[in-house]
Structure 1
């Protein structure tokens, strides 16, 4: 697969990172998180479960280190000239230190991620020890990389729009399949087919399908359970295009709801709309979360809500389709919304072993407000 974007887009990103390195007096940075590697280079492969890293120097060098068999993928997905492969029999941590010495000889200040899922404690400690022995001090640069990815460029937004179209198609297919007598497995198959036929590549996380009382459990995916009449079916999924994501949670029900599930459905729609009112330039993610919670509490259903109210979305590899570690709609979020950010607003009300209702939207923050990208016209009331 060729690079998703023209070379100029990656050059712009690398130039911004190099400017930051110079401002912080760093000679180079070593990046391990697959989403950050992809953002800066275009490199994307399901083989990220093996060790890989990207080295960017302040003076203009950039190099990818991957498993030797993955170098073909790297050559196809990037515009890089320097791609180094390590054999399966070698030590990739030692190879990283050696490659850094080649592209940034005598480096005395090196940036590294401290919170990457893909550099566990043991290799992290070995790599920092090797750099320390070589005379380099380590600076953690997670925040710098996060800030760069939060506001999307016009080209990134094009990819997210394409992902949203595929998500909407997959959700519609699943919602139409969620009828009494159908199994959750059948509904999930419809979701997969709709997502992939509409343009999705491999997902950041699998679709979720949970009917009736199973919807009361978070992250419940499909089983052989058969959908019954007069019960909700909770659906959540995200297509992935160019590694960019646009999730949607939606609930359909197969007849009249009554009692607590009916109240949850009304409250969930109100909570989503209350949160969305704050998702505008200069708006506060914490205020959006508070408004979401208040709408649920006003309905007497605060006991059904135990989570954040949304998160940033963009580039993602499994095990997640979101960027909640970059920005979340929660009490402690300090950063304000800006044009070009994309967030998934996702209130979900659940009662264990009883029911679950979720109604969400992925939205693009514009200069004057927001634009809803993901939605489903099928349901929720059938």
Structure 2
């Protein structure tokens, strides 16, 4: 750990203890993090990448446990975000560079032992500081992979880092696929976290059904739902959930897009859509349902029953080892058998797992009408959400196994009603 200048105005907010006092609060056992490092290094060796410079918060958290509430994603130009974690293909140690304000949390939740803290707010000081340390270890003599699909750092700072890597003799490539690919298949410990998160989302839906009534606002209900989930142990989700009421016309709820909860008053005869995630140690489980305030139209309830059969299909016939092409064919057959093949709506899914704001949508994605990347394989212990949306707000979280998929939420996959 490098020394910190105590006289730099505004870099530290007060007296800092350089050593954390007390036990670490790791989300996983140390061996889990060692296994992750070895997995990533093996992928780097196969790809011919000597060093990875990790900046996506999920990549950093997955590798050594560190996450924070603020990453300066839209940071002032006066105060550029220069943080990152360096991984070398030939070394067991990892290096993390950050502002000293994060010293306490790094000491508490990260397994990284090589921490380097900036003594300046200026990129002109901090980037050479990073380069000097990496160069002195010989880590810039080969190919450096950057996460060019990361929103952190912003393009201006990313260009500064890429230029510095090149100036120091490295070859720079886009290594975004490596940490994303490393996180795709979940360990048993990760799946256990997601299962706990699914329990929280069920508590959220129990709260919605208990509390919803005409005359309250969406924010009233969202606050009660969030409070119930957090009382059980759930964390902030990485996305602000869709949580809004919709008018119903001709037996169909009229979509309002990705709308947040607002001050709109909930009225009888409306439909509430809630797309919520439970979160445990930043691992997400997603379950969307809909509630009709009153006695729902029979056609609406029937459409929900038919759309829910997609989940039965995944339970019984979709297995790890199958390709997206094979699964899409099964989905199309299921929709045809249930009169939902007219083109309105979709069945799709995306990877779920470790997520930090502003997004919980992972990299792996499939859509039953997609015509690209059809040879991708659903691997054992992958986790995705599954959406069956045909004017039916049905989403759940699935784990892929050789014997079918496990649907994690226990909230019924049906149209719920207050009548």
Once residues 200 and 272 of structure 2 are traced to their aligned partners in structure 1, the CA distance between those partners, rounded to angstroms, is 20
1:375 lines up with 2:414 in the alignment: no
Aligned length: 374
1:57 pairs with one of 73, 88, 98: 88
Once residues 327 and 270 of structure 2 are traced to their aligned partners in structure 1, the CA distance between those partners, rounded to angstroms, is 29
Counterparts in 2 of 1:289 and 1:375: CA distance versus 1, 3 Å: farther
| SS in structure 2 of the partner of residue 146 of structure 1 | helix
Once residues 204 and 108 of structure 2 are traced to their aligned partners in structure 1, the CA distance between those partners, rounded to angstroms, is 29
Once residues 129 and 230 of structure 1 are traced to their aligned partners in structure 2, the CA distance between those partners, rounded to angstroms, is 59
Shift of the alpha carbon at 1:274? Answer: 4.4
Once residues 384 and 296 of structure 2 are traced to their aligned partners in structure 1, the CA distance between those partners, rounded to angstroms, is 30
Question: What is the RMSD of the two structures over their aligned residues, measured on CA atoms?
Answer: 2.6
Once residues 218 and 170 of structure 1 are traced to their aligned partners in structure 2, the CA distance between those partners, rounded to angstroms, is 21
1:120-159 equivalences in 2 (<5 Å):
120-159=154-193
1:222 lines up with 2:222 in the alignment: no
| TM-score, scaled to structure 2 | 0.81
The aligned counterpart of 2:364 is 326
Contact kept, 8 Å, 1:310 with 1:347, in 2: the verdict is: no
The aligned counterpart of 2:65 is 42
Shift of the alpha carbon at 1:300? Answer: 5.9
Shift of the alpha carbon at 1:361? Answer: 1.4
Tell me, which stretches of 5 or more residues in structure 1 are unaligned? Answer: 351-356
Contact kept, 8 Å, 2:316 with 2:403, in 1: the verdict is: no
Counterparts in 2 of 1:314 and 1:21: CA distance versus 1, 3 Å: same
Contact kept, 8 Å, 2:97 with 2:130, in 1: the verdict is: yes
Once residues 295 and 227 of structure 1 are traced to their aligned partners in structure 2, the CA distance between those partners, rounded to angstroms, is 35
| SS in structure 2 of the partner of residue 148 of structure 1 | helix
Q: Which has the higher helix share?
A: 1
The aligned counterpart of 1:312 is 351
Counterparts in 2 of 1:123 and 1:200: CA distance versus 1, 3 Å: same
The aligned counterpart of 2:237 is 203
The aligned counterpart of 1:337 is 378
Contact kept, 8 Å, 1:249 with 1:358, in 2: the verdict is: yes
Q: 210-219 or 340-349, which moves further after superposition? A: 210-219
Once residues 139 and 379 of structure 2 are traced to their aligned partners in structure 1, the CA distance between those partners, rounded to angstroms, is 39
Contact kept, 8 Å, 1:112 with 1:141, in 2: the verdict is: yes
Shift of the alpha carbon at 1:164? Answer: 1.0
The aligned counterpart of 1:250 is 289
Contact kept, 8 Å, 1:164 with 1:246, in 2: the verdict is: yes
Once residues 266 and 186 of structure 2 are traced to their aligned partners in structure 1, the CA distance between those partners, rounded to angstroms, is 39
Once residues 96 and 261 of structure 1 are traced to their aligned partners in structure 2, the CA distance between those partners, rounded to angstroms, is 59
2:275 pairs with one of 233, 236, 244: 236
The aligned counterpart of 1:31 is 54
1:251-330 equivalences in 2 (<5 Å):
251-258=290-297, 261-262=300-301, 264-274=303-313, 279-289=318-328, 292=331, 299=339, 302=342, 304-305=344-345, 309-323=348-362, 325-329=363-367
Once residues 343 and 201 of structure 1 are traced to their aligned partners in structure 2, the CA distance between those partners, rounded to angstroms, is 19
Counterparts in 2 of 1:370 and 1:21: CA distance versus 1, 3 Å: same
